[in-house]
Structure 1
Amino acid sequence: MMKSFRKMKACQAATVLELHESFLIKDFVVPLLLQDKLSVVEDFLEDSSFHQNSIVMFLDDLLEEKNIPEEMERISEELKVEDAKLHRFNQKYINKLIGRYLKDFKLSPELCPNYVALQKRKALHFVIWKKYIDKTLEGESWSEMMLEVVKDCPKLQYEMVESLTGHLDDDEAYRWCNYFQLDKEKLPARLKYMIETANLPNDGEEENWDDEEEIESWKNSPAVDMSNFPEVPIKMPKWKKP
């Protein structure tokens, strides 16, 4: 307990004396974070962009771990942290901390690719739910939202296609395969067979999609962290053989 108290006092002293450059996050920022001393940690971080970046990258690396509790226990033992609140450190809590620090310290999301991927995956599930379960998302607004979620992430593009085939919407799955020119060998078996046998829908007229109200609803939704939507309507390609 005395060591924990000393680390907290050392962190507070370093903050007051502006000695940030003399310490790494593992000296007392990480130990105090594990002890749930967030106010002390954040006072220290406030005046050091280097440590802000470092702690966000540290937390983001944890999101990549298959067994977060086990990794937190290892770190706690390595740093000799007493009274660590390890039960708090699950994916949800770490995700919340990263989002908080990105916002409070105005940091770039590029620091935390695992966090960004997790947010986009949540957005993907939300958009799929809106279309196939809630049945309140159709047409151009569906295309714009889905494109915004997966356009920069090939891995999510394949996950999207798998989800669409899981909802038995092979036609829509093929449209996106065609749009992103996805590798046929990585597609779900049923969709791959559909392409190989050229069992494709006939060309038809483009749909006239118009659902501006739904787009605004999505932009303002608290369920996902997505805010940028293209100003020009997205036109999905007509069906064609690959």
Structure 2
Amino acid sequence: LLNMAGVGRGALFSPRRAPLGSAPAASSVWVPTVVVANNAPLVDQETDDFMRNLKTLWSQCKKCQALFNMLQTQFSRVDQPFEKALVMVRQSPDYNPSKQMSLALTVMEQFSLWTKNFGPNVFESLNPKLKHEAFQVASRQRNWNLSVLIVDVYQLVEDKELLLPHINNMLKLHMYKESCEWVLLLNLQDRFGIMEFLLPLLLLDKWNVVDSFLKKCPKHNLKLIKFLDDMIGRGNTGQEMASIATELNVPDVKHSAFTKFSQYKTLVKMVKKLRAIHNVSDDETPNCAIRHGISSINFLVYRRYSEASISKEAFREMVLDNNKNRNSEVIQHLISKLCDLGDPKE
């Protein structure tokens, strides 16, 4: 095992550890081998033996120079390093548990360093088959650092269109959060609107995921704002969102979600939060402004005529200040309220 790592016994048990990311200098130029599709198993006996030794070393010293040397040597000696690196990640015992400090992540960190040591020609062996496989390895675990690293090492963004079917499959499986995150990571946001995962995420009360996405996608932010504002203008918002949930086949939507969307006050607050992300003007949400104006009128009327907590002069001043745009619908609502209260002169 120590011979495979290329170090003496003293290096393995030395209390000093090399810093993460250190790697031996390359002594020769690596020439990529063209990957030829065949029916050979992904995990051959040699790789299986290597992984057994690697796991043993990991259990003894985790991120140590001996383990780094062992990985760097293996990457240099195999014919298909990009494929073998993915196999090593999958075969790591902590691949599925997705721990932050894991052998799976360490393998990919060292492979990333190895590719940089050998220069750009090393990437000539990358092909669509490998990129599909890399996406599968990255997306079937939950260590986001590992996912980001695989996307970088295997240059997935450069061929992001190849991976659209994978995103669509996620959506079919109702993996809205994962789809949202991967669309951002692969820079595929222009290929999606607000219906595929943003509205389902709102229905499922995943505001943080939506917020993170919209902060990086101002166009989607504006589209969602306008959609919600138009829905406010049409009325029956709760019923409309229920229809959308049915149409999009969004599972496990709680009844409270439809109740929330049926409340104009809650919707107006949501639109305000969305507007604040990219400082969207009030002019983009006329229906929201009307609902806010009507709500404010109701509050002022209550204070003036039910609580008697504000004077006539203060009431008039606040009403004028609330409806600076002189919106006809808000004015009509005020007139109707005053007539109902028996004060048509006011």
1:103 equivalent in alignment to 2:276 = yes
8 Å contact 1:31–1:81 — kept in the other structure?
A: yes
User: If you compute each CA radius of gyration, which structure gives the higher value, 1 or 2?
Assistant: 2
Alpha-carbon separation, structure 1, partners of 2:205 and 2:231? 17
Q: Which amino acid aligns with 2:180?
A: C
Evaluate the alpha carbon distance shift between residue 104 and residue 98 of structure 1 in structure 2; reply closer, same or farther with a 3 A threshold: same
Identity of paired residues, percent?
28
Partner residue of 2:243? 74
Spell out the pairing of 1:192-211 with structure 2 (5 A cutoff). Answer: none
Residue aligning to 1:24: 193
* 2:337 counterpart letter in structure 1: S
Matched, 1:4 2:174: yes
Q: Does the aligned pair in 1 maintain the 2:304–2:312 contact within 8 Å?
A: no
1:156 and 2:330 are equivalent in the alignment: yes
Instruction: Output the aligned Cα RMSD.
Output: 2.2
CA–CA distance in structure 2, aligned partners of residues 60 and 33 of structure 1: 15
> SS at 1:171's partner residue?
coil
Task: List per-residue Cα deviations over 1:190-227 (Å, max 9, x = no partner).
Answer: xxxxxxxxxxxxxxxxxxxxxxxxxxxxxxxxxxxxxx
* Partner Cα separation in structure 2 for residue 76 and residue 101 of structure 1: 21
Matched, 1:84 2:258: no
Given the alignment of the two structures, is residue 51 of structure 1 paired with residue 220 of structure 2, yes or no? Answer: yes
Question: Match of 1:114, as an amino acid?
Answer: N
Partner amino acid, structure 2, of 1:25 = I
Deviation track 1:57-96 (CA, whole Å, cap 9, x = no partner) reads 1222222344333322221122222222353132243233
CA distance 1:138–1:116, change in 2 (3 Å): same
In structure 2, distance between residues paired with 1:70 and 1:123: 25
| 1:113 maps onto 2:286 in alignment | yes
> Post-superposition shift, 1:126?
1.5
Higher helix share: 2
Q: Distance in 2 between matches of 1:85 and 1:104?
A: 26
Structure 1 counterpart SS, 2:240:
helix
Q: TM-score, normalised by structure 1?
A: 0.63
Match of 1:128 among 272, 296, 301: 301
The answer to whether the 8 A contact 1:36-1:85 is kept is no
Instruction: Tell me the distance in 1 between the aligned counterparts of 2:302 and 2:285.
Output: 26
Counterpart position of 2:127: none
CA apart distance, 1:28: 1.5
In the alignment, which residue of structure 2 is the partner of 1:35?
204
* SS of the residue 2:289 aligns to: helix
- Asked whether the 8 Å contact 2:215–2:277 carries over to 1, the reply is no
Q: Which has the higher contact order (CA 8 A, sep 6+)?
A: 1
Looking at structure 2, the residues matched to 166 and 29 of structure 1 have their Cα atoms a distance apart, in angstroms, of 42
CA deviation string 1:21-61 (max 9, x = no partner): 22111121112222222222111111111111111112222
Contact 1:14 1:44 in 2 (8 A): no
1:122 & 1:79 partners in 2: Cα distance? 32
Where do 5+ consecutive residues of structure 1 fail to align? 173-242
* Aligned residues of 1:69 and 1:87 also touching (Cα < 8 A): no
How many residue pairs match? The answer is 171
Q: Are the counterparts in 2 of residues 72 and 86 from structure 1 also a CA contact under 8 Å? A: no
TM-score calculated relative to the size of structure 2:
0.45
Counterpart Cα distance in 2 of 1:9 and 1:115: 31
Contact 2:214 2:220 in 1 (8 A): yes
Q: Partners of 1:66 and 1:171 in 2: how far apart? A: 31
Give, in whole Å, the separation in 1 of the partners of 2:232 and 2:209. 23
Partner of 1:200: none
